Structure 1
Amino acid sequence: MAAIAALLSSLLIFLASPLGNALSWNYYDKTCPDVESIVTNAVKQAVMADKTVPAALLRMHFHDCFIRGCDASVLLNSVNKNTAEKDGPPNASLHAFYVIDNAKKAVEAMCPGVVSCADILALAARDAVVLAGGPTWEVPKGRKDGRISRATETRQLPSPAFNISQLKQSFSQRGLSLDDLVALSGGHTLGFSHCSSFQSRIHNFNATHDIDPTMHPSFAASLRSVCPKKNNVKNAGANMDPSPTTFDNTYYKLILQGRSLFSSDQALLTFPKTKNLVSKFATSKETFLEAFVNSVIKMSSITGGQEIRKDCRVVN
């Protein structure tokens, strides 16, 4: 399987969308040739201690790229009167920022002032997927780090409550297609969700139904047991799928069974093209991996930023 995934990803290097401004596969070949192995080591060390790290890094990269492009603005700390992206409501559960800090420190020791935090995050997200059993791919490099990070802009992130029209608009505004929408949604095969992200589906759904009728009854009952209507349990929630630390195509199978957590997941069945892609990816893991690699390269090539930060948490 790993060999097939590697072959697919190498082929997709030639199929991927044109790279963003000044990005290239060999950007650091002369200035920091060991950058990828340095980042990989930092991610490996973190994953050995915490199996939730891959989900965290992939989500962090996605949330970064959807606001101002892939410019590491999600890594900046709030300062003075400015509340940064990482402290916006959709990002409150982001974690594992220390992994990027550790990687950046090691890279700076070898190649000071050369590698952007945005590139380190993109590389770390790739390594996270690989370490979770997913495919590998060549990461285009040469991103710059942004100087602006505003919590108010996180409302632009796709919501777990989005319907298909809202999802299509959100992705198309970033140059991403319906194929990209369905393939990148497959990242939901990793991780954990708090009750707040799906509470509306299992309590007081609408005037007619207490529970979202698209959700399998036994699945809804299991969620209601861990997320009661008056939920005072801190960090209560559910895994995104039964194998939350393994990157596979289980997510798509769950959607077809009415066992996905988010409205935005189930919404993929409400439009013919996206429904067809869900079925295709549920049937073939290889087809999903191929599509995911293509789409994540495309997403990670949305550029922004102006500098190479010395510290990923603060502007120069």
Structure 2
Amino acid sequence: MTEKVAALIGAPTDVGAGARGASMGPEALRVAGLARALARQGVQVEDTGNLAGPGNPWQPPLDGYRHLPEVLHWNRTLFDAVTAQLQAGRMPVMLGGDHCLGVGSVGAVARHCSRAGRPLRVFWLDAHTDFNTAHLTPSGNVHGMPVACLCGFGPDELVNLGGAGPALRARDLRMIGIRSVDRQERLFVHEQGLDVYDMRMIDEIGMRAVMQAALADLPENTHIHVSFDVDFLDPSYAPGVGTTVQGGPTWREAQLCMEMLADTGQVASLDIVELNPALDVRNGTAEAAVQMVESLFGKSTLVREKAPKT
């Protein structure tokens, strides 16, 4: 069996966020032992270092967007870096940075899969749907807009990043752990028919049933991309994020989500975003994120030959 090669790509920016500090996320993940955790799961790791880009000017919105030139620069740079790793046959693991970077990361994966004729399924693990637009939110923070941009609703520069037209189709997306959605954004999400598994559904039927539904009808040779916003976790485990929302998955629910994704054997790229060490306690949130990622790559609480029958 060919050993997986994961290429770590640091994107140290918080230009899309409403709080400073996510720019320190890549180093916090490295300090927490991400590379060692992946190696324990049989993954060869190549750390490509950090991408370079503009600083955060910390200005108010202009025409509905904060820091759009800077956001565009970071996403173009990330798009090229992720594309290069995919073309080289490596698994890109983007270390954010705020979630505006999902435009470049997911966009690169989507364009790559389209060219290769390979099915794509994106798992958006997040407390938020990130489906805002400049017309729906007064903040202008682009970290609340990446899914909308990927689906064709946003500034032309981001919507057409890497190619003409939207990078992502709603049917290729699964959102898990959602529990904070603006009122107008909620209506927009329903209009577009996004596949959302919110915390109420997890409460009602359990994480196992939710993941079975989200993984149903998964085509062979699907490229699974996981966009892991650390605020997916309940803040009791992950206080070091800029937008904490109470009532997230329990520790075991979150682990099960990762384990069931790992069981597919089809996870081929990953984002880890919104880790904010400035708001953390002794790097505990980074350590929690690393434990979740280790489960995503095959670590399990129980060694068994195969999963139980459903």
What TM-score results when the alignment is normalised by the length of structure 2? 0.29
By percentage of residues, which structure has more helix? 1
The structure with more radius of gyration: 1
Ranked by relative contact order (alpha carbons within 8 Å, sequence separation 6 or more), the top structure is 1
What TM-score results when the alignment is normalised by the length of structure 1? 0.29
